[in-house]
Amino acid sequence: MVNIGYHAAKIQGKFLRSVYKSSLSSLVSFPIAQKRQVPIKVYALSCERDLPEQVASLRSFLRHVGIPKAFTIMSDGSYTEKSMKLLRRVHPCVDVQLLTKFQRDDLPQSVYEYASQQAMGKKLAALMSIPIDEATLYTDSDILFFQGASDLAELAASADLDTYYLPDCKNSLDKRLIYEDIEQQNPINAGFILFKKALDWDESVQRLASLKEPPNYFSEQTIVNLTIKRNHGNALAREKYIMNVDDQFIYSDKFATKQIAMRHYVSDIRHKFWQSVFV
C-alpha cells in the first residue's frame, strides 16, 4: 500500500526547496528582526550542494538565537565565489573560509588522510581545527532553529566549562573504533556541539590511525562520540534539542513547535526541513 502522506511530504519538500533556492539572491537581503547579541562564535561546514539549507539554517539561527560574535562557514572547497558572496550578504557577522586554509597544520596525519578521502573526514579536520577560547558552537547546515533556541544564549553565557552535545536517536558508529560496549551506549550526534573548552582528541584519533582498513562514513562521528565522552560532556535535553526520525513516514513534522530549540534534519527526514523553514 502506498504511503500517500510520506510521498506527499517528499514532493512538497522538493518543491519548497526549489522555490527557496531560486529565490536565494533576494532572500538573503530580507531583514532579520533581531537585535540580541549572543556571546558565542558559530562555525558550520557546508558545500555548494547544500547552499539553500545553509542559508535557511543561518537565518533561523540569527532570528531565534541572536547575533553571534561571528558566524564562520567553512567551505569544503565546492562553494563558488558567487555563493560565498551570497552567504556573506545574509549578515555582517558572516564569514566564509576555505577549509583548506582554515584547518590547522598540526593535525595527525591520519586525519589529513581521512579528509582527503571522504567528506566526513573533512568534517573531522574542521572540528579539530576550530579554535576554542570562549563559548563556541558547531552546527551542521541541515539544522533549523526555533523560538525555544533563545535559551542557547543563556547556556553560552553560563560560567561552566562543559561541552554540550546532541544525543543521537540511533547507533551510527564505526564499530571498528569501539573497544568496549559502554563506548557505544548513549551515542552522540556530531552535528551540533557547544564547546566551552578545547577537547583532548589524542586517544580517540589514535584509534583512527590504528585502523587496518580505510575509515568510513561513520568514523568521524565515532571519534567525536569517544572524545566528548572522555571529556565528560553533557547531553542537551532531548525534548528541546531534537534528533529524532520517528516521524519519517508520516506527512507532518511532529517535532517542529515553537517550544523546541532546534532540530537536526538528517537525510532520512531532510524533506521535512522545508516544511519547517516557514514555521
Confidence band for 108, pLDDT divided at 50, 70 and 90 = very high
Rounded mean pLDDT of 58-85? 97
User: pLDDT of 163-180, one tens digit each?
Assistant: 999 999 999 999 999 999
The secondary structure element, H or E, covering residue 164 is strand 164-167
The secondary structure element, H or E, covering residue 13 is helix 4-22
Comparing C-alpha atoms, which of 150, 136, 151, 131 is closest to residue 196? 136
Q: What is the pLDDT of residue 2?
A: 86
Tell me: pLDDT of 279 over 80: no
C-alpha cell at position 228: 566528548
Asked if 122 and 110 count as a contact pair (C-beta separation under 8 A), the reply is no
Q: What is the pLDDT of residue 79?
A: 98
- φ/ψ of 143, rounded to 5, equals -115, 130
Asked if 80 and 87 count as a contact pair (C-beta separation under 8 A), the reply is no
Q: What is the pLDDT of residue 97?
A: 97
Rounded mean pLDDT of 56-74? 97
3-state secondary structure of 67: strand
User: pLDDT of 3-26, one tens digit each?
Assistant: 999 999 999 999 999 999 999 999
Asked if 279 and 255 count as a contact pair (C-beta separation under 8 A), the reply is no
- The count of other CB atoms within 10 Å of the CB of residue 82 is 11
Instruction: Please report how many Cα atoms fall inside a 13 Å half-sphere around the Cα of residue 129, on the Cβ side.
Output: 26
Asked if 221 and 109 count as a contact pair (C-beta separation under 8 A), the reply is no
